[in-house]
Amino acid sequence: MTKRFEHLTPELAATLPLPGSAAPQQMRFAPDGRALFYLLSDGDGMALSLWRYDIATKTVTRIAGPQSEGEWSADEELRRERTRMVWEGITSYEVVGTGDDETILIPQAGKLFIKRGAGPLKEIPGVYDAIDPALFPEDPSRVAYVFEDEVWVADTRTGEARAVTNGAQLGVSHGLSEYAAQEELGRAEGYWVSPNSQYIAFEEADVRHIPEYPIVHWEADQAFVETHRYPLVGQPNARVRLGVVATADDGAVRWFELGEEDQYLARVAWTPANQLAVMVLSRDHHHLQWRLYDVATGTYRVLFEEESPLWVNVGDDTRFLASGDVLTTSEASGYRHLWWYTQDGRGRPITQGDFEIQRLLAYDAEGRTAYVTATKETPIEVHVYQVNVDTGVMVRISEEPGVHQAVVSPDFRYWADQSGSSFLSPQTRLVSLTSENSEVLHGHERIRPADLGLASPEFVTLTLEDGTRLYGAIYEPLPRHEKVPAIIAVYGGTHAQTVVNAWGMTVDLQAQLLRQKGFLVFKLDNRGSYHRGKDFEGALYRRFSTVEVEDQVAGVHWLVQNRRVDPTRVGIYGWSYGGYMTLMALLKASDLFKVGVAGAPVTDFRLYDTAYTERYMQTQETNLQGYVEGSVLPLVDRLSGHLLIIHGLLDENVHFRNTTLLVDALNRAEKDYDLVVLPYSRHAVRGYHNVLTVVRRRTQFFEKYL
């Protein structure tokens, strides 16, 4: 029976998983296309199991799980933080081989488990605290992983292991990506096994020169200090090298020349011909270059490059083809589109238009067909398309409205479609690419908002004076009074989109709770947000807290004119960049915003990291005015509304130092504020009681002052 939420409480709003959101995750087909694997919880819990759907027999088998979480190493806990992982149980897996040779690797709480063919699941003996394990592509009897900052190779049957790198020491690691790559460039891995299993490329990261940042664990029985080498904006990054070792022996490392020291190792990939492709990104983010290295000589040639007067967004859509050509995506036209590069570096666009290719899913070389997700019809929906790479013709193959996620089988016979909208909970289907057949794998009985006692948000558009269209979503309170208070739920920063026709919009139980208490809740994607093209996102380049705040102000004025909103009772809340936006709204538009709840806010971007901040703001040397005008701290004397600050003491991303300096500035300005500290929380709020505290205190604050 579906639980109903027409009488929401903070306790209900803080309970995970959200209704209807437990759907298959990390879907991937077996290498031979005969099965679909995915992670899914059994019921209402957060512990995931690994499942295998056999396409021919239409049977589902649980491969493993759910298992007890156990204790994570400090490195693994921080890796989970980088990916914002909130699920428990089995959270990753790998499949290689076909038929009787199909081999499945499952990491769990530092141990490794393996299943071969129809055999049982077995633990690999003697392997503990393994980070980022990966089976050898052509030899699943061997597994690589990182242990004590070195890359190791183990026999999956006996557990016999040896280190293939050496020389790691305190502050120098092999096979692990550095903080900037993990947090800001989306690269979690730090080593790469070649397709022929003969080589391992790996990163060496040296952070000894970066000052330590301390985080005190006051919550522990015996307080201790956790230290991080955090690269503050304008300061040195990690010194990174890329090396290759042969897997057959303990041979010498061949180090590859990367050029300038002050640049980012953004991506590494092996080509089908066992050459090493490397993406380097200039520190100012204006120039991206893909290089092809010869493993035997260490020399390279440039495959292609991209430049932007704003910044280059790093993607994961590059495919190195057996022909030597490259299929990728690029924002060279102003929107992210498919591009084709020949071996000699000549490029041509495949798709064009005022929309974005969000992901390159697969490429069928024989059929000259790419499979992509894109926002072709509207920026708030994502659909799946087949694209002819010669003509650029796009054919939509997803049907129902909303947001679609998909994976395509290696033999191009099937695709798995997971779709949902604000009106329907997610459903996962296996769809034939050669016929009209499809089968529902999960979400047979779909949930509608009315089934939960909830209402979907209303999607709206508003147009700025310069003609720019913004997309918003309104949660209307019931009953509708003559004049209602409004609350803006904001993020406002780059690389994020908050207004989409997805189920998550409906089961935003914080917004729904406020709606039930009589508030109108409004979300608006201001200029600077993602998936609207480079000029739209680049509107805030070098000038944080300008156009974002202006657009949110315009959104409130639109509400006052088009909804029954009381302009004297407007509040705002957000987390991270949204916390920063909350503070700036209270300080720069104090005549409009009367109450704010700022979560984990950056208060001065000179306190934040290199890779994120310099991408959008450059450095103080080149943009001092932008940093000064974008700081919250000099503006606190403008505060006239009511402010609640919430921050986790263990936040290693937006350090609690930001809130400490804000509190000191508020004290010196003799301003009143409220503060909630989460002793056990990092940047992503996890754990029922932490989430409950945020929801409860945020809700109470708006009830008290709006």
Strand partners, 341: 326, 347
Indicate if the pLDDT at residue 210 is higher than 90. Answer: yes
Point out the residues that are catalytic: 576, 651, 683
Side by side, the strands of the sheet bearing 438-442 are 403-408, 414-421, 424-432, 438-442
What pLDDT band is residue 124 in, cutting at 50, 70 and 90? very high
pLDDT at 71: 59
pLDDT at 127: 93
The one-letter code for the residue type at 33 is G
Distance CA 193, CA 135 (A): 8
- 3-state SS of 508-541 is CHHHHHHHHCCCEEEEEECCCCCCCCHHHHHHHC
pLDDT at 239: 96
Distance CA 629, CA 542 (A): 10
pLDDT at 45: 83
Residue 662 DSSP SS3: helix
Indicate if the pLDDT at residue 479 is higher than 90. Answer: no
Q: 105 or 296: whose pLDDT is higher?
A: 105
- Residue 142 in tokens: 């061997």
Pairing verdict, β 414-421 and 424-432: antiparallel
> Which range (29-33, 70-74, 457-461) has the least confidence?
70-74
Q: What is the pLDDT of residues 537-594, one digit of tens each?
A: 999 999 999 999 999 999 999 999 999 999 999 999 999 999 999 999 999 999 999 9
Closest C-alpha to 198, from 258, 130, 255, 270: 270
Q: Is 445 left (phi over 0), alpha (psi -120 to 50) or beta?
A: beta
Q: What is the pLDDT of residues 6-55, one digit of tens each?
A: 899 999 999 999 999 999 999 999 999 999 999 999 877 888 999 999 99
The one-letter code for the residue type at 308 is S
Residue 281 DSSP SS3: strand
pLDDT at 576: 98
pLDDT at 344: 87
Give me the sign of the Cα torsion angle 81, 85, 90, 94: negative
Closest C-alpha to 538, from 615, 598, 486: 615
Please, what are the domains in the chain? Answer: 449-705 (3.40.50.1820)
Indicate if the pLDDT at residue 516 is higher than 60. Answer: yes
Please check whether residue 596 is in contact with residue 583, taking contact to mean a CB–CB distance below 8 angstroms: yes
Q: What is the pLDDT of residues 645-663, one digit of tens each?
A: 999 999 999 999 999 999 9
